Amino acid sequence: MAELILASNSPRRRELLGGLGIPFRVEPSRFEERGDERSARDTALAFAEGKAREVFSRFPRSVVLGADTVVSCGGKILGKPHSAKEAEEMLRLLSGRVHSVFSGVCLMGEGLFLKDVFETRVKFYPLSGELIAEYVASGLPLDKAGAYGIQDGYPLVESYEGSYTNVVGFPMELVTAFLKEGKLC
């Protein structure tokens, strides 16, 4: 059986995939995420595929799993913030609103190519300026799409429709289905 490689440096994706008990190794992708005029859904899928393809080009005897997550609110795509100021702006935008979290997943190997996108709708509580400042000062939002993590322990998310693990950044329903189809679990 071919070696499974996770094309991501995300500790959350590593932890979730590790929970399946399947052996894998991590090889971060060198794919350059460049924004363009695609939809959030198309962006997440294109970036997941780009990450998988880049790692597969270096390890063609392996099976590579790539993923990417973006947040979309009011037609604006929110990736990872580049600064604390940008994180604050994203959180203010999301405050009291419903938004979508899109995660693209791509699994590829010799004779294997699967890709799809998972969407979860999330509603934020109205956030006070103090809560936003405290959360941003914690440093937690700086490595997450949309500048937040549902798992971070802050009272941000009022409700969601769909997959919790998708909001974390790795829709395990889709990942597990792909791994089964590829006969890896």
CA angle 175, 178, 183 (to 5 degrees): 125
Question: Which residue from 58, 63, 72, 81 is spatially nearest to 17, judged by alpha carbons?
Answer: 63
Within 10 Å of residue 55's Cβ, how many Cβ atoms? 25
Residues 68, 116, 143, 152: which is the catalytic one? 68
User: Has 68 been annotated as catalytic?
Assistant: yes
| Contact criterion met (CB below 8 Å) for 147 and 140 | no
Beta bridge partners of 104: 68, 117
Name the token pair of 18: 């590790």
Instruction: Compute the distance between CA of residue 65 and CA of residue 83 in angstroms, rounded to an integer.
Output: 28
**Closest to 44 measured CA to CA, from 181, 154, 171, 183:** 171
For residues 98, 10, 7 and 30, what is the CA-based torsion angle, rounded to 10 degrees? 90
Residues annotated catalytic, as ranges: 68
